[in-house]
């Protein structure tokens, strides 16, 4: 029998049974018997025959004569489809709320797939022909492959940079801790000058009372000395160490701020990459990452028009210092709320910049998931008061289009657009805001 040739292209996992699964999982199943003994019976086709017989794809082998008679009838009915060409092609897709807006192919066949009818979060579609199904399936597979072939290397670059930023943050915090050491050098120098008459040149160390802390025995301070110098010479050496450390430490707060901005930028790029649903959107994120300088050398970016453009090089084959033209970010999502308000959603950094600072006005409401990278969401007021229900709907969208998509209760900050401004030193879409309120929302797609 050749009925299952097309369906073998993608063998799905078995659907859950509508009946109890209390039977032993070690018992041989009816569908397994069919695949072993009927030529051309794939697991999908065999499960379909068993399901139409018992309402359970995992029914074990039984001695019930009625089951065998009905199973034989269903097998003949399915086989007859090949003889009379009574095809009714169907596609079964899983609606993956946590993985993205695009449904996932899980099965297809030239006959109705009744075994999937009772599954939750599943959509069954009919198709005019099995060839149309195959074209759609393989086009989808190529589409995903094309998207992942761009997404994966960009994600690797960003994750590497993220780890560098985190390590740098730890090192900078350690440098801040050195400030205590700098203060110790100054204290020792001050004490040496105060007790210089008691310190003889050639001593390896001296113990003096720290009169800054009182007269207790615990306030005694041991000061290591360079025997080559007297008290004043040793004090000058300690002052030199103190000032050297203080100069270095004066740069650390700025470096911490700069590193924090870069860390936020990289995290936002990773969120942009996660939210990209098409090869074109992934390409836009890649181009933005390249513009930011994280992809260097003989790399090709994707221009807004979809053409490829080689990075210009300066002397010695290195990238030129001049920044390339920033790529476009595509078109933000537009959604109509149930109350009739327009909601704008930026799916990457450029779109966030666009909706917040170019399409929004001062009285529009701006929303963003708290503490995680994600989309900027704008509710266009249009001179009207925005009801709570629209804010809640927009908050669910802000939760969905964020790194917290997999959570069930996401804090969403919202404020008027006029209270949002660019982050100092940040790239497109990097902002700070104030006078916000917080609402908790469950992630929901459009």
Does 325 score more than 60 pLDDT?
Answer: no
260 belongs to a structural domain: yes
Specify the pTM: 0.55
Same domain flag for 220 and 290? yes
- What is the Cα–Cα distance from 173 to 264, expressed in whole angstroms? 17
8 Å CB contact between 333 and 312: no
| Predicted local confidence at residue 215, as pLDDT | 53
List the beta bridge partners of residue 431.
422
Same domain flag for 304 and 390? no
Tell me the pLDDT tens digit for each residue of 395-435.
Answer: 999 999 999 988 889 999 999 999 999 998 888 999 999 99
Q: Of 166-180, 191-205, 346-360, 369-383, which range is least confident?
A: 166-180
8 Å CB contact between 397 and 374: no
- What is the Cα–Cα distance from 205 to 202, expressed in whole angstroms? 9
Same domain flag for 109 and 217? no
390 belongs to a structural domain: yes
Tell me the pLDDT tens digit for each residue of 166-188.
Answer: 999 999 988 877 777 888 899 99
More confident residue, 169 or 305: 169
Of 328, 360, 382, the residue that ends a domain is 328
Does 298 score more than 70 pLDDT?
Answer: no
| Predicted local confidence at residue 104, as pLDDT | 74
Tell me the pLDDT tens digit for each residue of 113-157.
Answer: 899 887 777 888 888 887 787 777 766 666 677 778 888 999 999
| Predicted local confidence at residue 136, as pLDDT | 73
423 belongs to a structural domain: yes
List the one residue out of 240, 239, 245 whose CA is nearest residue 193: 239
Does 24 score more than 50 pLDDT?
Answer: no
Q: 239 burial class (0-12, 13-18, 19+ CB within 10 angstroms)?
A: middle
Tell me the pLDDT tens digit for each residue of 108-124.
Answer: 888 888 998 877 778 88
383 belongs to a structural domain: yes
Q: Tell me the pLDDT band of 276, cut-offs 50, 70 and 90.
A: confident
Q: Of 43-52, 87-96, 268-277, which range is least confident?
A: 87-96
- What is the Cα–Cα distance from 175 to 196, expressed in whole angstroms? 32
Same domain flag for 121 and 86? yes
149 belongs to a structural domain: no
Same domain flag for 174 and 270? yes
Q: Residue 390: helix, strand or coil by DSSP?
A: helix
Tell me the pLDDT tens digit for each residue of 206-239.
Answer: 999 888 775 555 588 999 999 999 999 999 999 9
The structural domain count of the chain equals 3
Q: Is the dihedral of CA 421, 423, 429, 434 positive or negative?
A: negative
| Predicted local confidence at residue 319, as pLDDT | 35
Same domain flag for 176 and 301? yes
Report helix angle 130-177 to 279-291, nearest 10. 30
Domain limits at 246?
167-328
């Amino acid at each position: 029998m050749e009925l299952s040739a097309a369906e073998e292209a993608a063998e799905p996992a078995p659907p859950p049974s509508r009946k109890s699964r209390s039977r032993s999982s070690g018992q041989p199943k009816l569908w397994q018997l069919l695949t072993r003994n009927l030529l051309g019976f794939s697991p999908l086709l065999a499960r379909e025959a068993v399901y139409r017989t018992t309402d359970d794809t995992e029914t074990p082998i039984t001695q019930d004569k009625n089951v065998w008679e009905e199973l034989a009838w269903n097998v003949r009915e399915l086989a007859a489809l090949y003889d009379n060409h009574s095809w009714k092609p169907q596609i079964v897709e899983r609606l993956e709320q946590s993985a993205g807006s695009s449904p996932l192919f899980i099965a297809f066949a030239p006959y109705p797939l009744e075994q999937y009818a009772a599954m939750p979060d599943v959509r069954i579609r009919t198709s005019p022909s099995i060839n149309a199904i195959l074209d759609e399936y393989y086009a989808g597979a190529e589409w995903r492959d094309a998207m992942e072939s761009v997404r994966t290397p960009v994600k690797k670059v960003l994750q590497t940079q993220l780890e560098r930023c985190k390590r740098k943050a730890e090192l900078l915090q350690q440098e801040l801790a050195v400030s205590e050491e700098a203060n110790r050098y100054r204290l020792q120098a001050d004490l040496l000058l105060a007790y210089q008459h008691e310190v003889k040149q050639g001593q390896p160390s001296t113990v003096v009372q720290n009169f800054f802390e009182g007269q207790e025995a615990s306030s005694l301070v041991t000061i290591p000395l360079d025997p080559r110098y007297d008290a004043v010479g040793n004090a000058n050496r300690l002052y030199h160490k103190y000032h050297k450390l203080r100069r270095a430490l004066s740069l650390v707060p700025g470096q911490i701020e700069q590193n924090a901005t870069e860390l936020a930028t990289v995290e936002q790029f990773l969120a942009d990459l996660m939210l990209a649903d098409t090869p074109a959107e992934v390409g836009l994120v890649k181009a933005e990452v390249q513009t930011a300088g994280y992809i260097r050398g003989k790399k090709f970016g994707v221009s807004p028009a979809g053409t490829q453009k080689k990075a210009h090089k300066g002397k010695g084959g290195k990238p030129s210092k001049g920044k390339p033209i920033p790529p476009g970010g595509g078109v933000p999502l537009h959604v109509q709320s149930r109350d009739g308000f327009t909601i704008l959603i930026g799916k990457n950094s450029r779109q966030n910049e666009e909706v917040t600072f170019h399409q929004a006005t001062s009285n529009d409401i701006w929303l963003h998931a708290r503490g995680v990278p994600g989309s900027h969401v704008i509710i266009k007021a249009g001179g009207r008061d925005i009801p709570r229900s629209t804010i809640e709907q927009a908050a669910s969208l802000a939760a969905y289009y964020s790194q917290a998509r997999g959570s069930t209760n996401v804090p969403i900050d919202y404020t008027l657009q006029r209270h949002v401004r660019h982050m100092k030193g940040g790239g497109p879409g990097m902002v700070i805001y104030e006078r916000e309120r917080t609402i908790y929302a469950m992630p929901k797609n459009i």
